[in-house]
Chain A
Amino acid sequence: MASAALQLGHGTGADAARAEVDAYFAALQQKSLLRFLTCGSVDDGKSTLVGRLLYDAHLLLEDQLSALEKESAKAGNAGGEIDFSLLVDGLAAEREQGITIDVAYRFFATDRRKFIIADTPGHEQYTRNMATGASTADLAIILIDARKGVLPQTRRHSFLVHLLGIRHVVVAVNKMDLVDYDRAVFDRIVADYRTLADAVGIAEFTAIPVAAKGGDNVAARSEAMPWYGGPALLDHLETVPLDAAGAGIAPFRMAVQWVNRPDQDFRGYAGTVASGRVRAGDIVAILPSGRTTRIERIVTAAGDLAEAVAGQAVTLTLADEVDCSRGDMIAAAGAATVAGALDARLVWMAEEKLEPHRAYWLKTGAQTVSATITVGAVIDIHGGADKAGPQLALNDIGKVRIALDRRIAATGYADNRALGGFILIDKATHATVAAGMIGGFPSAGALDAHVERIFWVAGEARAEALRARFAAQGRAAFILTEAALRDGLCSDLGTGDTAELTRRAAEVARLMSATGVTIIAAVPIAKGVAIPGSLVGFDAAGEALGDEWVI
């Protein structure tokens, strides 16, 4: 457990140093990276536990230790002993308040792994920070104060850990010293937690009794709890299997971040492989267009690669001159869905509430599109019944349906965390207002609440006929024609620019339908543009049917 640093320093001189460092780095090369999250309520001992891990991993340097001793004496809240929690406090303003109010990242390494800790606050209103820390974590440590047992907040933390797709859960029952290291207390808490885990969907967890302050079962097994047969916390963190190998099973997917064109002869697509593996010669699809081509080269500064796997940042060249730009996805056949609408879970992160008919920017992978959100339900994470929308407030979690202004390549969050997650951005303030996890893809026609008020009709004659039919039912309808749009709103567009015309028509229809008006859009539907509502007089491929009088 001790840092390999301690085994160094025997040799002297350049050659000895080189040999030692080479050996040390060879060992380091085998090291993997584990990102984990700590969550608990205020005063459960998170800061103490993290400080203790840093201390026990010999990460603290002499001057940090002496500063810590001084600060401990000054703060005076650990009775003359070292207060490890002081190690992990940060911003001055927060320190004055005495609580941690954001995500802080800490680093330490042992002989087996490098660790990045996302330290997030326990206060109930800070769901947003926990979701942030959890989004990149492989493992979560959920702290429970042995004297208090499972609390409503424990459920909240566990729910979020599950929602954000963290597969490894550790339940650290802390302050065992204050319950006389009593096995019965621990067993009761574990049983309570199992009930909770079942309810929120966590299938597996590892429970460890600890006393962060004294270091019991933190870096080494505690003599005070001989009844506990499992590993110490650090041991578990060092050995829990990581699923980097998952790269072997998942299909290849990569979002194109940047098109690299230094000159006429080179055109490369730069991105990070999100899943699977890719080899030169592989047949791939460019999404959303669906064109297929072959991988020609995998270019890196260190030379071409024969193969790249999930996590690697690469530049791909393609065998054919296909259209491919930032935001597109290069993927194995069938590896992603092309959709104009999404079903998702949303964590609302802004003070300002979600406005159902307002459009937000949605960023997923390397693409940013305009999105409108319909809240199906607000989830009660304490296990009560879901509430109805239509709004989401700060720290609410909603089940939502999202209509996009165009079709994009996307993946479910359960399939891939890197591509299945998205953020929503306020178009006016540019703030990141929500984080979402794609759950599924609603079929066209079930798009959103406006469907039954928007009709895309092929040809103005059909439009008139439909309006007459609605009038007979006593329902007023408005016909949106291409000519009317071209006169005003779209006067800046050329005749070839039907994609933009369709997009604007769709936005106008959406806005008007939100006020309760029925819209009959007699506007051409450009390929690839997602439109709300239902089609009249078109075939399944969106081509106008020959017979004008099908209605």
Chain B
Amino acid sequence: MSARPMTHLEQLEAESIHIMREVVAETERPVMLYSIGKDSAVMLHLAKKAFFPAPPPFPLLHVDTTWKFRAMYDLREKAAREAGMALLVHRNPEAERQGINPFDHGPLHTDMWKTEGLKQALDLYGFDAAFGGARRDEEKSRAKERIFSFRSASHRWDPKNQRPELWNLYNARKAKGESIRIFPLSNWTELDIWQYIYAEQIEIVPLYLAAPRPTVERNGTLLMVDDDRFPLLPGEVPVARSIRFRTLGCYPLTGAVESEAATLPEIIQEMLVATTSERQGRVIDHDGAASMERKKQEGYF
């Protein structure tokens, strides 16, 4: 035969597209959780491909905490507009009222804005299926996560009650009130993501690229002072450092790395010789190896 065999990236792309089409065909109200990070960017790009020439037949949902980097909010609107998709933004009104923030409330911040916020949004709009950009290579407990992950009506994840996934046959049937989280990027690695962004020229938040930015160092983590809500400790003065982010979340919770890599190839080059794994930058993961799993059982995405 003349055609060359598919590359591993083409195979991953086809698998993700297959998954998205199954969800759209078999669920009533799907939504794509859009967190504005690089994985979300790839997931959105794949959705555009899966349903071309139609726009993806579902909205984007951003569960906002009000504490994302400003550059993320900028890209959010643009990405949705260019994809021709509706963008829904949900902020937990209770967290907003109580002024929950990452500086004063620690884990409660994630819990109320993200965990509770996500549940509220799904209930509010009646979504029965939500795409998420999590990958199995991110963290040990994710290695066993299914591509279709079932949640009870109260959004709990029961590790003992998940369905076996054979071939590319996904069982999307569920009882009323139950919902599914679907992870079309399950089999992608971080390098696959970067390689794909580079090959397909997908727009990402500029914070992934190094630039001089105001920073302070706390407990060995470099934090960016993104706006004047950042409470400086006595004697603390923001210092301009050339930094970039390997992962993006709430700015006070996301550690930067010092880097001169200002272009995508340089990032990839740095990544290929990297010696620390991706999630080290997330302050949230520092409380124990099994914590992610506990969060998942509670409904944190």
CB distance from A392 to the nearest CB of B (A): 15
- CA A132 – CA B6 in complex, angstroms? 24
B268 touches A91 (CB 8 A): no
* Interface set, chain A 378-427, CB cutoff 8 A to B: 417-418, 421-423, 425
Give the residues in chain B near A63, CB-CB below 8 Å.
275-277, 280
Q: From known contacts A64-B277, A421-B167, infer whether A8 and B143 are also in contact, taking CB-CB under 8 Å.
A: no
Q: B140 and A301: CB pair below 8 A?
A: no
**Residue in B6, B167, B175, B263 whose beta carbon sits within 8 Å of that of A18 in the complex:** B263
| Contact string against B for A residues 359-390, beta-carbon threshold 8 Å, 1 for contact and 0 otherwise | 00101101000000000000000000000000
Residues of chain A lying within 8 A (CB to CB) of residue B136: 105, 107
Cα distance, A61 to B279, chains bound together (Å): 12
Which of B53, B263, B275, B290 makes the CB contact (< 8 A) with A14?
Answer: B263
Q: Mark B162-190, 1 if CB is under 8 A from A, else 0.
A: 01111111010111000000000011010
Distance in angstroms between the alpha carbons of A8 and B261 in the assembled complex: 14
Interface flag for B233 (CB, 8 Å): no
Q: Is A103 an interface residue (CB 8 A)?
A: yes
B173: chain A residues within 8 A (beta carbon): 361, 425, 430
- Nearest CB of A to B163, in Å: 4
B144 touches A104 (CB 8 A): yes
**Residue B14 interfacial (CB < 8 Å):** yes
| A contact residues around B282 at 8 Å (CB) | none
Q: Which residue of A lies closest to B273 (CB)?
A: A9
Is B1 within 8 A of A326, CB to CB? no
- When distances are taken between beta carbons in the complex, the residues of chain B under 8 Å from A32 are 5, 7-8
Interface residues of B in 255-301 (CB under 8 A from A): 261-266, 268-269, 272-277, 280, 289-290, 293-294
- Surface stretch bound by A, among B21-29, B89-97, B124-132: B21-29
Instruction: Give the nearest-CB partner of A420 in chain B.
Output: B167
Q: Judging by beta carbons under 8 Å apart, are B24 and A300 in contact?
A: no
Interface residues on A, range: 35 or more
In the complex the two chains form, is A132's CB within 8 Å of B164's CB?
Answer: yes
Residues of B near A257 (CB, < 8 A) are 18, 21-22, 25
A14, B266: Cβ atoms closer than 8 Å: yes
B171 touches A430 (CB 8 A): yes
Q: Which residues of A contact B53 (CB under 8 A)?
A: 260, 262, 266, 268, 299, 301
Determine whether the beta carbon of B5 is less than 8 Å from that of A242: yes
- Which residue in B17, B198, B273 is a CB contact (below 8 Å) of A25? B198
With A89-B140, A92-B293: A432-B277 Cβ-Cβ less than 8 Å: no
Contacts of B280 in A (CB 8 A): 63
Contact A261 B7 (CB under 8 A): no
Q: Given contacts A260-B53, A311-B6, A366-B25, is CB(A20)–CB(B265) below 8 Å?
A: yes
Q: Is the interface of A mostly helix, strand, loop or mixed?
A: mixed
Beyond A5-B272, A21-B268, A417-B167, whether A315 also contacts B5 by CB under 8 A is no
- CB of A135 within 8 Å of the partner chain: yes
- In the complex, what residues of B have CB within 8 A of residue A24's CB? 268, 272
Q: Which of the residues B9, B49, B54, B273 comes within 8 Å of A260, measured between beta carbons?
A: B54
Give the total number of A-B pairs whose CB atoms are below 8 A apart: 214
Determine whether A544 belongs to the interface, using a CB cutoff of 8 Å to chain B.
Answer: no
For A93, list chain B residues within 8 Å (CB). 159
A-side contacts of B202, CB under 8 Å: none
Q: For residue B52, which residue of chain A has the nearest CB?
A: A301
Contact of B275 with A61 in the complex, beta carbons under 8 Å:
yes
Decide if A313 touches B18 in the complex (CB within 8 Å).
Answer: yes
Let me know if A85 is at the binding interface, CB within 8 A. Answer: no
| Contact with B5, one of A20, A107, A244, A349 (Cβ below 8 angstroms) | A244
Determine which of A4, A242, A315 lies in contact with B52 in the assembled complex, contact meaning CB atoms within 8 Å. Answer: A315
Are B21 and A90 in touch, CB under 8 angstroms? Answer: no
- In the complex, whether A147 has a CB less than 8 A from a CB of chain B is no
Q: Encode A285-306 as 1/0 by CB contact (under 8 A) with B.
A: 0000000000000011110000
Name the interface residues of A2-44: CB closer than 8 Å to any CB of B. Answer: 3-6, 8-9, 11, 14, 17-18, 20-22, 24-25, 28-33
Q: A61 to B274, Cβ gap below 8 A? A: yes
> Once bound together, how far apart are the Cα atoms of A116 and B163, in whole Å?
20
Closest to B165 in A: A132
Task: Decide yes or no: A430 and B175 within 8 Å by CB, A21-B265, A102-B144, A257-B21 being known contacts.
Answer: yes
Which residues in A have their C-beta under 8 angstroms from that of B159? 91, 93
- Residues in chain A near residue B273, CB distance under 8 A: 5-6, 8-9
User: Is the Cβ of B25 less than 8 Å from the Cβ of A30?
Assistant: no
Give the Cβ gap from A207 to chain B, nearest Cβ, in Å. Answer: 28
Whether the Cβ atoms of B3 and A277 lie closer than 8 Å is: yes
B21 lies within 8 A of A270 (CB) = yes
Is B64 in the interface zone, CB < 8 Å from A?
A: no
A92 CB contacts on chain B under 8 angstroms = 141, 289-290, 293-294
Q: Shortest Cβ distance from B278 into chain A, in angstroms?
A: 9
Distance, CA A257 to CA B57, complexed state (A): 14
Q: Which residues of A72-101 are within 8 A (CB) of B?
A: 88-93, 95
A-B pairs with beta carbons under 8 Å apart, 17 shown = A8-B272, A9-B269, A14-B262, A17-B266, A24-B272, A103-B144, A107-B137, A132-B164, A136-B166, A245-B1, A257-B25, A301-B48, A302-B49, A312-B14, A315-B52, A430-B175, A432-B163
Q: A33-B12, A63-B275, A93-B159 are in contact. List 11 more A-B contacts (CB 8 A).
A: A3-B272, A4-B272, A11-B269, A17-B265, A32-B8, A62-B276, A131-B164, A132-B165, A136-B168, A244-B5, A421-B169
Closest 5 CB pairs of A and B: A248-B1, A262-B54, A92-B290, A33-B8, A62-B275
Report A's interface with B, CB cutoff 8 A. Answer: 3-6, 8-9, 11, 14, 17-18, 20-22, 24-25, 28-33, 61-64, 67, 71, 88-93, 95, 102-107, 109, 113-114, 116, 119, 128-129, 131-132, 135-136, 242, 244-245, 247-248, 257-258, 260-262, 266, 268, 270-272, 277, 299-302, 307, 309, 311-313, 315, 326, 349, 361, 363-364, 366, 417-418, 421-423, 425, 430-432, 435
